[in-house]
Amino acid sequence: MSIYWVSFRIDHTGNYQYRYDALVEGIRGLAARFWEETTSFIVLETAASIDTLAADALSAIDPNNDVVLVRNMDSKSARVIGLVEDDDIYVLMPYLKYVE
């Protein structure tokens, strides 16, 4: 089991509520336990890999408008999915991989 955090922004276009709910429910479905008391940020424990979490996120969002950032707290491993408008994230997290 690993601990991850997930931060996300769902753009207020099209089917916003559907995408938001699909992302959150997908994360909950993979989690043995989770914490989500702050806005657009979830901490979870799961046996799923970071790539499984990223693929699940990609299937829930509109990658042309939304963005999700997943970080494994046990290692320097992270994935970003969707629209990245500020490339500083790659400098701040040089181990970050973009998921298409």
- Residue 37 has a pLDDT of 95
- Residue 85 has a pLDDT of 96
Burial degree of 31 (CB within 10 A; 0-12, 13-18, 19+): buried
Averaged pLDDT for residues 48-70: 97
- Residue 80 has a pLDDT of 98
CA nearest 23: which of 33, 43, 1, 8?
Answer: 8
- Residue 46 has a pLDDT of 97
Architecture of the domain spanning 2-99: 2-Layer Sandwich (3.30)
- Residue 74 has a pLDDT of 93
How far apart are the C-alpha atoms of 38 and 79, rounded to whole Å?
Answer: 20
pLDDT digits (tens, 9 = 90+) for 4-56: 999 999 999 989 999 999 999 999 999 999 999 999 999 999 999 999 999 99
- Residue 24 has a pLDDT of 96
C-alpha pair distances (Å), 62 with each of 14, 85, 93: 9, 15, 23
